[in-house]
Amino acid sequence: MNREIYNSLGVSDAVITLGETVLQTLQDRFRLIDETAEYNQAKVLKAMQDNRVDASCLTGTNGYGHDDKGRDTLERVYADVFHTEAALVRPHLTCGTHALAVALSANLLPGDELLSPVGKPYDTLEEVIGIRESACSLKEYGVSYRQVDLLSDGSFDYAGIKQAINKKTKLVTIQRSKGYQMRPSFSVAQIGELIAFIKACKPGLTVMVDNCYGEFTEALEPSDVGADMLVGSLIKNPGGGLAPTGGYIAGTKKCIDRCHYRLSAPGVGQDVGASLSVLGSLYQGFFLSPQVVSGAVKGAVFAAKVYEKLGFHVLPKADESRHDIIQSIELGSPAAMEAFCLGIQAAAPVDSYVAPVPDPIPGYADPVIMAAGAFVQGSSIELSADGPVRPPYAVYFQGGLTWHHAKLGILMSVQKLLERGLITV
């Protein structure tokens, strides 16, 4: 039955068989993913009940947005789920980069130093920080930056970190997910160890974790192991595919108050910010997120196993533990990147008939190819693949609002590589 419908979508029998063979080996793994989803589902539900979410929370305000009960309650729900004192969850945070820029610029003053102890941060942060020249960067405002690279085996350079922390160091940024790099993503436990070490070197430092793509992949979040701020995008994991836009910052009241002032205006802070008509989707998306994330993680594990079997270098490996929804696959050539992305695009519910091509994107140094046929533009909790066109020509695959859609996407990507003579199955 499935074979016929998959054939009609353009997947050949050879590729379907490959998928079935791989899937048979993943049943135990999928059971563990379901256990994490079950725990996180209950955690979100409890926070919604404890905060007495009701129908009046789902409609928004306009104008100044004073007394926006739904918005304020949603922020309480996020704070409870992440076990933080406060949270800022707003459609006015336009993307993950914006949320990170707000968190950083709100909590760093001229003369302060920012430290990344985990190597180069995400591409778009280079301009926020001023690693690449940009108007309004932190550097322009007199905030300096220091970076300690990971050791060659991917572990933290504790000696280097200790040496890098100085009297100017004020804020430490830790990126949980690998971003566009071929390094492992960090587990919450690893992040916890790093934070403990850093805070022992200099008590009082603020630690921010870029939590993009990590939410709900584990039972714990970085805020459970000492992070003062967690930052992420609502068109990734916590929006559950329903949030049409937005970002969040969860953390200590001291940090979050400053983020509110930076986002709106000093003195005004959190009391303004009309939520218009998005609140229903933000609540419902957060509610669905643990389940959606589990489907995406299954898709990532499946992709790893399939591409390993085809002889490609994948990160993480199929059998490794998962700390985000990203799967990177080193395809080795621009042609293979294009074929892979064409397959993902061809599996989409929206824009399935278009062919992705590499293009320059603001904030990124290299041309980027992106496949996404999403209900929400650019949403990468939906089935998508992207990557900067530079060696080792790795694509970063993520998302899928349902596990079955993620599976189809991977099968289609294999199909396109096969049709272009880039692999044999």
Q: Kindly state whether residue 387 participates in binding ligand PLP, applying the rule CB under 6 A.
A: no
Q: By Cβ distance, which residue is nearest to ligand PLP?
A: 96
- 384 neighbors 343 (Cβ within 8 angstroms): no
Helix (H/G/I), strand (E/B), else coil: 388: strand
Going by C-alpha positions, the residue among 175, 179, 248 that lies closest to residue 207 is 175
Q: Kindly state whether residue 240 participates in binding ligand PLP, applying the rule CB under 6 A.
A: no
Structure tokens at 271: 């009391």
As measured in angstroms, the least distance from the Cβ of 128 to ligand PLP is 10
* Closest CB to ligand PLP among residues 78, 213: 213
As measured in angstroms, the least distance from the Cβ of 143 to ligand PLP is 18
| Residue among 116, 144, 190, 233 that touches ligand PLP (CB under 6 A) | 233
| Residue among 36, 40, 61, 97 that touches ligand PLP (CB under 6 A) | 97
Structure tokens at 171: 């804020």
Q: Kindly state whether residue 248 participates in binding ligand PLP, applying the rule CB under 6 A.
A: no
* Closest CB to ligand PLP among residues 233, 294: 233
* Closest CB to ligand PLP among residues 213, 393: 213
Helix (H/G/I), strand (E/B), else coil: 98: helix
User: What gap in Å lies between CA 145 and CA 158, rounded to an integer?
Assistant: 18
* Closest CB to ligand PLP among residues 15, 89: 89
User: What gap in Å lies between CA 89 and CA 53, rounded to an integer?
Assistant: 15
For ligand PLP, the binding residues in 394-423 under the rule CB under 6 A are: none
- 198 neighbors 222 (Cβ within 8 angstroms): no
For ligand PLP, the binding residues in 275-314 under the rule CB under 6 A are: none
As measured in angstroms, the least distance from the Cβ of 421 to ligand PLP is 33
As measured in angstroms, the least distance from the Cβ of 95 to ligand PLP is 3
Q: Kindly state whether residue 105 participates in binding ligand PLP, applying the rule CB under 6 A.
A: no
Q: Which stretch binds ligand PLP (CB under 6 A): 14-22, 208-216, 222-230, 328-336?
A: 208-216
Between strands 169-175 and 113-116, the pairing is: parallel
Report the DSSP beta bridge partners of residue 386: 370, 396
Q: Kindly state whether residue 212 participates in binding ligand PLP, applying the rule CB under 6 A.
A: yes
Q: Kindly state whether residue 126 participates in binding ligand PLP, applying the rule CB under 6 A.
A: no
As measured in angstroms, the least distance from the Cβ of 222 to ligand PLP is 12
As measured in angstroms, the least distance from the Cβ of 176 to ligand PLP is 7
Residue count at the site for ligand PLP (CB under 6 A)? 12
| Residue among 116, 124, 190, 415 that touches ligand PLP (CB under 6 A) | 124
As measured in angstroms, the least distance from the Cβ of 5 to ligand PLP is 33
- 57 neighbors 74 (Cβ within 8 angstroms): yes
> Sign of torsion, CA 239 243 244 246?
negative
Q: Show contacts of 399-403: CB within 8 Å, 24+ apart.
A: 399/296, 399/299, 399/325, 400/295, 400/296, 400/299, 401/241, 401/292, 401/295, 402/292, 402/295, 403/294, 403/295, 403/298, 403/299
User: What gap in Å lies between CA 331 and CA 325, rounded to an integer?
Assistant: 19
CB atoms within 10 A of CB 144: 19
Q: Kindly state whether residue 93 participates in binding ligand PLP, applying the rule CB under 6 A.
A: no
Q: Which stretch binds ligand PLP (CB under 6 A): 47-55, 94-102, 295-303, 386-394?
A: 94-102
As measured in angstroms, the least distance from the Cβ of 54 to ligand PLP is 31
Distances, alpha carbon 87 to alpha carbons 52, 74, 100, in Å: 17, 9, 14
Q: Kindly state whether residue 213 participates in binding ligand PLP, applying the rule CB under 6 A.
A: yes
User: What gap in Å lies between CA 162 and CA 200, rounded to an integer?
Assistant: 10
- The amino acid present at 250, given as its one-letter code, is A
How many H helices and E strands in the chain? 12, 12
Q: Which stretch binds ligand PLP (CB under 6 A): 91-99, 101-109, 191-199, 280-288?
A: 91-99
* Closest CB to ligand PLP among residues 19, 247: 247
> Sign of torsion, CA 137 138 142 146?
negative
Q: Kindly state whether residue 384 participates in binding ligand PLP, applying the rule CB under 6 A.
A: no
Task: Report DSSP state, residue 185.
Answer: P
Q: Kindly state whether residue 217 participates in binding ligand PLP, applying the rule CB under 6 A.
A: no
For ligand PLP, the binding residues in 166-205 under the rule CB under 6 A are: 175, 177, 179
* Closest CB to ligand PLP among residues 6, 122: 122
Cis peptide before 316 (omega within 30 of 0): yes
Question: Which residues bind to ligand PLP, rule: CB under 6 A?
Answer: 95-97, 122, 124, 175, 177, 179, 210, 212-213, 233
